[in-house]
Structure 1
Amino acid sequence: MAALFRIDCEVIALSKRTMHIELELRLAAVRAERTEIFRKLRARQLGNEVAAKLVRELDLLEARYAN
């Protein structure tokens, strides 16, 4: 019984670590996408209005992931 409890605890801990890593990767992707949008904006490959909409969507995603 104790061995099963230990295994369950290990599985739960691994699951939590995996979820945390996945969240960090998602946040990193959002930040990278925002950086690319600003790069394209500076290079005039993207208009102000489009960039603002895209950044707003990324802000919302980042806020959702941060909570």
Structure 2
Amino acid sequence: MQPDGNTVGFWIAIVLFTLAMFYHAGTRARYPQVVTVTTADSRLIAIYTDDPERVARMLGVT
């Protein structure tokens, strides 16, 4: 029985999702604190850093 394109695509998506979650978890473990920036159009940007206070001062906290 040959797998169809949907099945292959599904499993590729599962593998990529799992890899992305491991990468995210590893980043969060390395940098436990995050600087969150809100852009003018209300999008959020997370900056992982060892010294969030320094990054916040560089960006200018409002």
User: Please, what TM-score do these two structures have when normalized by structure 2?
Assistant: 0.48
Could you say which structure has the higher strand fraction?
2
Could you say which structure has the higher helix fraction?
1
User: Please, what TM-score do these two structures have when normalized by structure 1?
Assistant: 0.45
> Which protein has greater RCO, CA pairs closer than 8 Å, 6+ apart?
1
